Amino acid sequence: MKAGITGTSHLNESYIMNKGVSFAAACGAFSLLLTTAALALSIALPPGATVAVPPTTAATEPDLAGVAIRDALIPFQIHSPSGALLCAGQLQDRVVRSSRTGLLDFYYAIRITTKGTGAIARVVRRSYDSLPLRVAYRMDGLGVVPPTRATRSSPGLDVAFAYLKPPVSCATPQISGPISRFVLIRTGVKAFKLGGLTQIVTTSGAQTVLKTAQP
């Protein structure tokens, strides 16, 4: 089981009733915690739709706990039309089988950006056909930069995640671990294949395409 993504985390729901802290204030804080937890859920993304990408955790979605059956680090480089190196790094391509349902969740993260002057604005995953999907990013995992929104093509083959504020910078070397949050695509399938593609696009429009997992 992979720490930080496949394991189950727990919210701290304990409150210390110190002197001078009213019961009403404690109840208000507890209510805020429950509201925050309720928001930490993946969201449906039908074909043709665009949604804000929410955070999620294994505590709020226990079905996320499982075992990684694929976890590949795929190197990539993106160059400008003149040949200048804009970004060099790795795409982490992960597939997790839920211990509760046996269904597959597809993850990716941008990590170990070692060279370049550019920034990543968009990551497009394909192909998901017309499958019912849910999307989110893992708030309880490693990484810093979350995606801002997700857009699905019609009839649903491509799922594009945009990094707007901020993009994923390649200018500062990240020598270990992910720089982006782990991005999640939840599916209702129990098998995967390596016929998928992932397109990584910089803010200038330069791009590269990698072979990755798909349902």
Does the pTM surpass 0.75? The reply is yes
DSSP state of 84: -
In this structure, are strands 66-79 and 104-115 parallel, antiparallel, or unpaired? unpaired
Query: Domain-by-domain residue ranges, the chain?
Result: 42-214
pLDDT at 115: 87
| Model confidence band, residue 214 (pLDDT cutoffs 50, 70, 90) | very high
Cα 95 vs. chain centroid, distance in angstroms?
12
In the block, residue with structure tokens 């859920």: 41
CATH class of 42-214: mainly beta
Q: Is the pLDDT confidence value at 33 over 60?
A: no
pLDDT at 22: 39
CA 3 to chain centre: 15
Q: For the residues of 167-182, what is the DSSP string, one character each? A: -EESSS---SSBSBPP
pLDDT range class, residue 137, cuts 50, 70, 90: very high
Find out whether 124 and 153 touch, Cβ atoms under 8 Å.
no
pLDDT digits (tens, 9 = 90+) for 165-178: 899 999 878 877 88
Residue 23 sits at φ, ψ, to 5 deg, of: -65, -40
How far, in Å, are 78, 112, 179, 181, 185 from residue 146 at the CA level?
21, 16, 9, 5, 14
Q: What distance in Å separates the CA atoms of residue 83 and residue 76, rounded to the nearest whole number?
A: 15
